[in-house]
Amino acid sequence: MKLVEKLKNGTEMYRLDDGRLGKIYPKSGYVRVTTLRHGIMDGKYWSKDSTKNSRWYQINKKEKYKNKGMKFSHVRRILIPKRKDQLAFLKAFNDKNADKVKQMKKMLEGYAKGLRWFSNFEAEKRALLHINLNDKLNNIKDALKSIEKDVTSSHYWK
C-alpha cells in the first residue's frame, strides 16, 4: 500500500496491493475503496488498476438503529475519527482483501465452474436431442411398417 496523493483538506489516497485505490477522510471519519476491475476475457484473466473516476464504496462498519415509533430499522456507518485508526483500518482491509493471486484464483474458479455447468448443460441438451431424434425415427419406422402391412394386406392391390 503506497501513498499516491494528499489533498489540502487532509484526504489521503493510497494505491492498494491489488491496484484499487483507497481514501481516508480525516475530517469526516469515512474510509472508501474503489471497485476491483478484473475479469475473464477470451478465457484469460485480466485486471486493470482503478482510477479516480472508478466507483467508490465505503468500508466503515455498519450499525443498525431504530427510531421510536418507526417500524423499520435504519443503518448508519460507524465513523473513525482518528487518522491513525483510519490508516490502520485501510491497512487491515488491504491485508485481508488485496491479494491479487487469491482474487485471480477465485475468478478463475468461478469461470471454470460456469464452463463445467455449461458443458454439462450442453451435453444434456445434446443427449435429449439425440433421444428425441431416435424416438422420432422409431415412430417413423413404425408408421412405415404399419403402412407397408396395410398395403400388402389390402385386396385393392392384388
- pLDDT of the residue at 134: 73
- pLDDT of the residue at 89: 95
pLDDT at 24 over 90: yes
Of the chain, the end-to-end C-alpha distance in Å amounts to 97
Segment 65-98, tens digit of pLDDT: 888 888 888 899 999 999 999 999 999 999 888 7
Domain layout of the chain by residue ranges: 2-98, 113-157
Average pLDDT for 22-45 = 86
3-state secondary structure of 96: helix
Segment 146-158, tens digit of pLDDT: 777 766 665 554 4
Nearest residue to 33 (alpha-carbon basis) of 115, 90, 105, 101: 90
Distant-in-sequence contacts of 105-111, Cβ < 8 A, 24+ apart: 107/38, 107/39, 107/40, 107/45, 108/40, 108/45, 111/40, 111/43
pTM for the model stands at: 0.63
Tell me the pLDDT band of 111, cut-offs 50, 70 and 90: confident
Q: Cell 487469491 identifies what position?
A: 102
Contact 65, 74 (CB under 8 A): yes
d(CA 19, CA 25): 20
Comparing 17-26, 64-73, 102-111, which segment has the lowest mean pLDDT?
Answer: 102-111
For 5-99, where are the alpha helices, taking DSSP H only? 83-97
d(CA 126, CA 105): 31
